[in-house]
Amino acid sequence: MQKETTGVHMDWESRYADRARGMQASEIRELLKLTQQPDIISFAGGLPSPLSFPTVDIAEVTTHIMLTAPEEALQYGTTEGYDRLREYCAYRSKKEGIDASLDDVVIVSGSQQGLDICAKVFLNPGDTVIVEAPSYLGGLGAMRTYQPKLIPVEMDDDGLIIDKVEETIKKMEKPPKLLYTVPTFQNPAGVTMIEKRRKKLVDLAHECDFIIMEDNPYGDLRYSGDPVKAIKAFDDEGRVIYLSTFSKIFSPGMRLAWIIGDEEFIRKFVIAKQSTDLCSNSFVQRILYEYCRRDLFDEHIKKIRGIYKEKRDIMLSSLEEYFPEGCSWTKPDGGLFLWARVPEYINTKNMVAEAIKQRVAYVHGAAFFVDGSGTNTMRLCFSYASNDNIKEGIKRLGIVIKNEIKSH
C-alpha cells in the first residue's frame, strides 16, 4: 500500500540535536565495508584472530552455567556488574601495579561504552581534551559526541612526549579537562610509553589538575620486552581512570570490559550507565567469570601471544623484504598494530583505491589525527590475516607504494 504524502518536505536535519549533526561514520568502519570481499587481504580492521577464541572451553562453561545457575544467568544484573567478575578484574589489574577493590570497578559493555561513559560524565561542550597524535579513532569518536576541543600532542617511539604536553598546557588559558592515552602498544602506532614518562604524566596531572583516561586494551598481548606498570599504578589521588577489556584476550563478541576509578567517579559512571543499558550482559558475565575461576586465562593468553608474535614477526620481515627505500615502520613489542611511513610527498589516503584494486587494504594515517596531519602514514593490523596472506599482502602493498613513488 502506497503511503500518502502531504507534499510538505520534512527537514530532517533541523530535527537533529547539535551534537548529532556533527556525527560521522568511522572511516575504518566505512573502509571495512570495502574489504569484506574474500579475495582482499585486509590489514585495516583491528580484528582478533578467530584462532584466538577458546571455543571449546566457552561451550563447556556455557553448558555448566545453564545446568547450575540458569535463573541467575538469564536475569537482569546490577549496573555495577557481577560482583565476582568485578573482584576478578580488580585482582587481574594488580599485575599492572594497580591496587583496586570491588568498589573501584564497574563492568561495561566493551571499552567503547566505557569511553562514552567517561566522556558523558566529564565533558561539557568546549572543554579541552589532550589526545595523542595519532590517536585511537574510537576514543576520538566517543569524545566528539560531547563537543570538546581536541588538542593533539605528538608521540615518538617512547610514547606520548610529556614535555610536549607540558608545553601545550602552558599555551592554554586554562588546563585541559582530560588527557586521553593508549599508553601500551598504542592503537594505531604500536608504541609503548616508557615508565619514566608515565610517572611524569601523573605528576603533571597533579600540578595542572586534569584527569587522565588510560585505555589499555592490549596490555596482556606482550611478545617481547619488559612489562611496564600502568599509569594508574602511579596515581595516589584518584585522577587516573583506567579502562581495559576482554575483547582482545577472550572474545570481542562478548562485549565485556571494565573501568577502575575512584569510588566517587564509579558511582557517577554507574548512574550514567543505567540510562544507557541498565546492565551489561548477565549471562556472558557469568560465563566469563566461570572461565576465569577455572584458571584457564593464563594458559589461553600464553597461547594467543604465540599466535600474534608469529604474525608480527612475519609482517616485520615482509616489510623489510617488500617495502621500498624511504619507508619506515614501528616495531611493536605487543598489541595488534604497527605504523608505517612512506615518503612525505605521498598521500596514503589517495593510495587506498589502488591498494583495493590490488586486493589489499590498510587504514590511511590521517584518519587518526585530529588536525588532518599524518598524510604519509598508514596503520597495518597483523592479527587477522593468515600468515601466508600477511606476506602476500605486504608484497602487494609494496608494489602499490613503488608505483606511487614512480608516478612522482
DSSP per-residue codes, 320-368: HHHSPTT-EE---SBSSEEEEE--TT--HHHHHHHHHHTTEE-EEGGGG
Q: Is there a contact between 315 and 380 (Cβ–Cβ < 8 Å)? A: yes
Give buried/exposed letters for 170-208 (b at 16+ CB in 10 A, else e).
eeeeebbbbbbbbbbbbbbbbbbbebebbebbbebbeeb
Q: What is the pLDDT of residue 3?
A: 52
Grid cell, residue 16, equals: 537533529
Give buried/exposed letters for 351-362 (b at 16+ CB in 10 A, else e).
bbeebbebbbbb
**Other C-beta atoms within 10 Å of 154: how many?**
14
Give backbone dihedrals phi and psi of 154, rounded to 5 degrees, phi first.
-75, 160
Grid cell, residue 128, equals: 579541552
Q: Where in the chain is the domain with CATH 3.40.640.10?
A: 55-293
CA distance 271 to 359: 46
Give buried/exposed letters for 225-261 (b at 16+ CB in 10 A, else e).
eebbebbbbbbeeebbbbbbbbbbbbbeebbbbbbbb
Burial class of 3 by CB neighbour count within 10 A (0 to 12, 13 to 18, 19+): exposed
Grid cell, residue 10, equals: 520534512
Does the domain at 55-293 match CATH 3.40.640.10? Answer given as yes
Going by C-alpha positions, the residue among 296, 224, 305 that lies closest to residue 49 is: 305
Strand partners, 360: 41
Assign residue 180 a region (left: φ > 0; alpha: ψ between -120 and 50; beta: otherwise). Answer: beta
Q: What is the pLDDT of residue 279?
A: 97
CA distance 179 to 200: 13
Mode of pairing for the β-strands spanning 328-329 and 149-156: unpaired
Mode of pairing for the β-strands spanning 41-42 and 360-361: parallel
Question: pTM, whole model, 2 decimals?
Answer: 0.94
Burial class of 23 by CB neighbour count within 10 A (0 to 12, 13 to 18, 19+): exposed
Peptide bond into 70 cis (omega under 30): no
Q: Is there a contact between 340 and 188 (Cβ–Cβ < 8 Å)? A: no
Q: Where in the chain is the domain with CATH 3.90.1150.10?
A: 24-53+299-407
CA distance 43 to 363: 8
Grid cell, residue 378, equals: 598508514
Q: What is the pLDDT of residue 33?
A: 72
Going by C-alpha positions, the residue among 188, 182, 189, 232 that lies closest to residue 211 is: 232
CA distance 298 to 310: 19
Q: Is there a contact between 396 and 404 (Cβ–Cβ < 8 Å)? A: no
**Tens digit of pLDDT at every position of the chain (408 positions):** 555 555 666 788 888 888 777 777 666 666 667 667 889 999 998 999 999 999 999 999 999 999 999 999 999 999 999 999 999 999 999 999 999 999 999 999 999 999 999 999 999 999 999 999 999 999 999 999 999 999 999 999 999 999 999 999 999 999 999 999 999 999 999 999 999 999 999 999 999 999 999 999 999 999 999 999 999 999 999 999 999 999 999 999 999 999 999 999 999 999 999 999 999 999 999 999 999 999 999 999 999 999 999 999 999 999 999 999 999 999 999 999 999 999 999 999 999 999 999 999 999 999 999 999 999 999 999 999 999 999 999 999 999 999 999 998
Report in angstroms the alpha-carbon separations of 113 from 98, 132, 184, 256, 400: 22, 20, 20, 9, 37
CATH T-level fold of 24-53+299-407: Aspartate Aminotransferase, domain 1 (3.90.1150)
Going by C-alpha positions, the residue among 326, 338, 331, 333 that lies closest to residue 376 is: 326
How far from chain centre, in Å, is Cα 99? Answer: 23
CA distance 322 to 390: 12
